[in-house]
Amino acid sequence: MGLSKENLNIYKNNSLKTFIKYSMRYKWLMIFVVLMSALTSSMAAVPAFLAKQFIDDVIVKMDVNVMILVVGGVMISTILKVVAGYFATISSSYVTENIRRDIRIDVYSHLQKLSIGYFKKNKLGDLMARLSGDSNALGQIGFYVFDMLKEFLLVLVLTVKLFQVDIVLTLISLIVMPILVGVVRKYTKKIRKTGRIRQDTTGAVTAFIQETLSGIFVIKSFSNEEKMIEKYKELSKDEFEKSYKSRKTKAKVNPINEILTTLMIVLVVSYGGYQVLVLKNFTSGDLISFVTALGLMHQPLKRFINKNNDLQEALPSADRVIEILSESREIREKEDPLHCSEVIDTIEFKNVSFSYEDDENDVLKDVNLKVKAGDVIALVGKSGSGKTTMANLIPRFYDVTSGEILVNNVNIKDYSLKEYRKNIGIVPQESFLFSGTIAENIAFGQETLNYIEVENAAKMANAYDFIMELPNKFDTEVGERGVLLSGGQKQRISIARAIMRNPQIMILDEATSALDSESEKLVQDALDKIMCNRTTFVIAHRLSTIVKSDMIVVLENGEIKEMGKHDELLNKGGLYNYFYDIQFNDKKEEVSLI
């Protein structure tokens, strides 16, 4: 079609490359689709090749035998076209649906392997939009590509027929092609640009919906429903305007295409008629054959352009998926990692500093700490002092910026990440339960659901009694995020889940701080049980819960300021003593340790 180098570069796109890479998994089916598409297109062009014989031999010469051949040829070609088209369609659909499924699985798998930091930087709603709608758009590329291939092949076959009839007439008919290609190229860029803006806006709307529905309790508590509705209306209006602009740009292509194509037909009929009627260089059959081929070319060319518009509109959505797939994993294993199955005797922070991505300031600064097996280590400090960050470095949710964390004198980066994390149990401040039964949540992460082990873990977590009072006991559904259970019940199930791992290292993020007195006592009793004979790191918000710790580490601005036992630190009269006085001696000054 005379595409320029610049125009061809439009198709050198990461999304298209990704689609091709996935399609290679089904290369034999792809070859079959191409062959069936080629046969379909060839048979669709047969009427143009038979038109000359029909006019010159059947209509003019009254040759019955030729009429039988023409009618038979049309009938056979139609049957072949329909059958080949059917197999091309179902095969391309099979390939495309599999590619779409493969892409969504790979995107989800890749998201699972990205670091915690990635999810802190990106809104959950936007990620959901990319995983669902945008992943579908990347898979949808297959439908557009296969449809465009079929239309392109038909145009190619018909172009061959045009040149067979007359070169000059063909060149006249193709005069408008460069203009048509220019229009397509111009609007292709606009369609992709407006399409990307539209998809980003849609992602923002999805993120807003997800966030506000998750926070519906807070919205209602502050009687802020109307404000949220107004904000949603504004976002929806912005989405509408971006979408309408994209559709309007796309709609301009068809009218221009219609005018140019009609102009091409007028030029051909005028010149061809002159050759037949005046110069007698053509037979009527030649002209009809040419016009038939040109007429048959009109619709596939139009469909090709429309599919190209759809493709360009889908590419921005697909690009958003590629951005996830191209996101590098911050936490990487060595090619031949060490096993981490031995007993953990020591954990050591050695000259550890850490800063979050895009933040110049260190959250932790030259931290040194050595912990023996079975010790309980309490991390104390103001909000933002680095307590949680320090705890998150232990299971390698993040990698240190400098220094190293050693387990049994081996850098934790050298261990198999999966094996290493199996040694760690975590009880967060706010427990997260998955939709499903209590038993499934307690056994989360286990290869099999062993009810005896589940019951034992529930007993250790002080959860057994309340579970047995429920109608379906361990088979009781907890609801989305555990909404059907109280805070104390969820926390005890979370503790039971950690116990099921039988970890050597426990990380406790003050699991009692948001509970009522009765639930707090039950949860604290459960925590005391699981801390026994385990190396435990406690992020302490209430100092009363850590007075018996083997070591209390006081952090300030990312640095360790004090270390020692409760009595030792009180006697020092330093920062820990200051925090203790504030909590227990009724001082008016408030310091947040959360």
Helix residue ranges per DSSP H, 473-516: 487-500
Phi and psi at residue 163, to the nearest 5°: -65, -30
Domain limits, CATH 3.40.50.300, in the chain:
430-502
**DSSP code of residue 482:** G
Q: Which residues pair with 369 in a beta bridge?
A: 349
CB 322 within 8 Å of CB 134: no
Domain limits, CATH 1.20.1560.10, in the chain:
5-325
Q: Show pLDDT as tens, one digit a residue, over the chain (594 residues).
A: 333 343 334 334 566 777 778 878 888 888 888 888 888 878 877 777 777 676 666 666 676 777 788 778 888 888 888 898 888 888 888 887 788 788 878 888 887 777 777 777 777 777 777 777 666 666 677 677 777 887 888 788 778 877 877 777 777 766 666 666 666 666 666 666 666 666 667 667 777 776 676 666 556 655 667 777 787 777 777 777 777 666 666 666 667 666 766 777 677 667 666 666 666 666 666 677 777 777 777 778 777 777 777 777 677 777 777 777 777 777 777 788 888 777 888 888 999 898 887 777 788 888 898 988 888 888 888 888 888 888 889 988 888 888 999 988 888 888 888 888 888 888 877 777 887 888 888 888 777 778 888 888 888 888 888 888 888 888 888 877 777 787 778 888 888 888 888 888 888 877 665 555 666 677 677 777 777 778 889 887 777 677 778 888 988 888 888 888 888 888 888 888 888 787 766 544 444 454
* Maximum separation of any 2 CA atoms in the chain, in Å: 120
Give the whole-angstrom CA distance, residue 332 versus residue 373: 27
Give the whole-angstrom CA distance, residue 63 versus residue 157: 27
pLDDT at 592: 47
pLDDT at 11: 39
Span 430-502: which CATH code? 3.40.50.300
CB 283 within 8 Å of CB 52: yes
User: Considering Cα of 566, then 572, then 574, then 578, what sign does the dihedral take?
Assistant: positive
Give the whole-angstrom CA distance, residue 359 versus residue 361: 6
| Three-class DSSP labels, 188-229 | HHHHHHHHHHHHHHHHHHHHHHHHHHHCHHHHHHCCCHHHHH
Q: At 546, which amino acid appears?
A: I
pTM beyond 0.75: no
Token reading at 439 = 């038993």
> Between vectors from CA 169 to CA 166 and to CA 172, what angle results, nearest 5°?
150
Q: Is CATH 1.20.1560.10 correct for 5-325?
A: yes
Token pair 């009180």 in the structure block, residue = 570
